[in-house]
Amino acid sequence: MIISGKILAAVVFLSACGAAGRVPAQIDLPHTAVQEGRDSSVATSKVADAPVTLHVDLSSRMLIVKQGGTTIKTYQIAVGQDRYPTPVGQFTIRRIVWNPSWKPPPGAGWAKGKSAKAPGDPGNPMKVVKIFFHDPDYYIHGTGDVESLGSAASHGCLRMDPEDVADLAKLIMDHGGEPRGDNWFWRIIHMRREEQEVTLDNPVSLTITQ
């Protein structure tokens, strides 16, 4: 993973990456790039110019990023439980929220007794960033429960490791017409109690299959 020197130098104390009392994780925001090893500069150029698409395989609990038909990234995820299934089909990512707040879904039995959590709150289950694919109910988000990755454990959303979801969100912004520099991400990570929304100029496609 290629990591910016500016971001690597910043030690990020995100309670969002673990439960209170645990050693906070460092979130590095790497530069995403097409993998090397293409047959020619022409082939590389064609891949670099192709749109990025996301593909989720619920059975394998994997999220795959493709560009020009070539897989450039893979991430392990947690998917919805049987009683709270993740929807399947074609979706479009248009909105990303960094340092998201959280409110208990109205009428959800599993959320009974839970209270709203501000950005950066240790009890906030939304870690680092939310990537909406079926707004407003379903999104990809970071989780403090990283042990759940690879299983069907969520209430319909797609969970990711906090560092992985930051990497994915940056990649989506880069290819969705809303790239940002290292300083912007540095502020996002260090001002973790400040919510920041990004709307993509070029929405990114997501396909979810069983």
Query: For 17-46, what is each residue's pLDDT tens digit?
Result: 333 334 344 465 544 433 444 444 545 556
Q: Which of 203, 201, 204, 199 is nearest to 97 (CA)?
A: 199
Instruction: Report residue 48's pLDDT band, with 50, 70 and 90 as the boundaries.
Output: confident
Domains of the chain: 5-209 (2.40.440.10)
Q: pLDDT tens-digit profile of 91-127?
A: 999 999 999 999 998 888 898 889 999 999 999 999 9
Using DSSP bridges, classify how beta strands 52-57 and 89-98 pair: parallel, antiparallel or unpaired: unpaired
Structural contact between residues 68 and 77, judged by C-beta atoms closer than 8 angstroms: no
Lookup result for tokens 């479009």 = 92
C-beta separation of 172 from 166 below 8 A:
no
| 155, amino acid identity | H
What token pair was written down for 89?
Answer: 């089909």
pLDDT in tens, 168-190: 999 999 999 999 999 999 999 89
Across the chain, where does the E strand assignment appear? 52-57, 62-67, 70-76, 79-80, 89-98, 127-134, 138-142, 152-154, 158-160, 196-209
- pLDDT (mean) for 186-206: 96
Entry pTM: 0.80
Mean local confidence (pLDDT), 51-72:
97
Q: Which of these, 44, 24, 42, lies nearest to 34 by C-alpha position? A: 44
